Amino acid sequence: MKRRKFLEISAITGSALFSGSNINLAKNSNNDKSTWSICLNTSTIRPATLEDKINAANKAGYDGIEIWINELEDYEKNGGSLKELGNQILEKNLYVPNIIGLWDCMPMNNNDFLESLPATKERMRRSSDVGSKYVAAIPAPDRPDINYQTLVRRYAELLKIGKEEYGITVAFEFVGFFKGIYQFGHAAGVALDTNNPDACLIMDTFHLFRGDSGFNNMNKINGNLIANFHINDVSNETPREEQGDKHRIYPGDGILPLVQLFKDLKTINYKGTLSLEMFNREHWKQDPYEVAQTGIDKIKKIIELAEV
């Protein structure tokens, strides 16, 4: 179902647009030949205002915009309504697939976890209000001796709260330079061991590289385990172990096997979003629209090369 048609039906029925919805938005008006919608993560064009980021995404032809939670917090602090913001985003022919994220939401100590819940719930509420389907939960505070079973319980509880109280799906995101959970297998295990059918992952090409998970086993899972996929590339100028977020570059400009990755995502029937996420300081100095346009063009080129 194309996004525009879905919005027309939603307007008639009054149904919730995205939160908790299983409707597939991947086949879309801007990228009809592809399996996936393409989204702009707002970190890519910092320090532009949120309004400028939304306008850049719309002008460059993206289908969605992936927002950071601090931007929603600031928007509310300045008197804005997140529900109205969500409507404004829809009016720009965009949608919000995911919000990043739930910080410090998984303390190992039970009292610390209980004390963290009010802030976590507020972030869920904000994410739901703006119309997002997912909100990312990062396994932090990070520590090398993180307890796996406790982490599974934490994620299971967050899934339950998100769905029952806010109609939003909490997705688990692993970070390649963390000391605790930093690999694909670790994160997949956490999601699967919740025994919750809503459990899912936020994937990231940089984190697959940085955590040394690699890309060769992507075709061994089902695509519905993945909520959202961050797309970027890296060069070989800096050793893998020394690379950080600032080293991310445009997709296709580096050494990552993105063409094969896209073929594998098609094979496993992944139907989510490809989200351009970079933190490149040189890009931040440039015109936000030009960076956004360059990014979507490069993702479309990889889609073309992969014939998906």
pLDDT tens digit string along 189-234? 999 999 999 999 999 999 999 999 999 999 999 999 999 999 999 9
pLDDT in tens, 77-105: 999 999 999 999 999 999 999 999 999 99
**241, amino acid identity:** E
Distance CA 229, CA 226 (A): 7
User: Residue 37: phi, psi to the nearest 5?
Assistant: -80, 160
Task: Note the pLDDT tens digit of each residue in 174-185.
Answer: 999 999 999 999
Cα(97)–Cα(60) distance, integer angstroms:
17
Q: Do the beta carbons of residue 102 and residue 158 sit within 8 Å?
A: yes
Share of the chain above pLDDT 90, in %: 88
d(CA 25, CA 6): 8
Domains of the chain (ranges; CATH) run 35-306 (3.20.20.150)
Per-residue pLDDT, 90: 98
| Rounded distance between C-alpha atoms, residue 60 and residue 167, angstroms | 30
Does this model's pTM top 0.85? Answer: yes
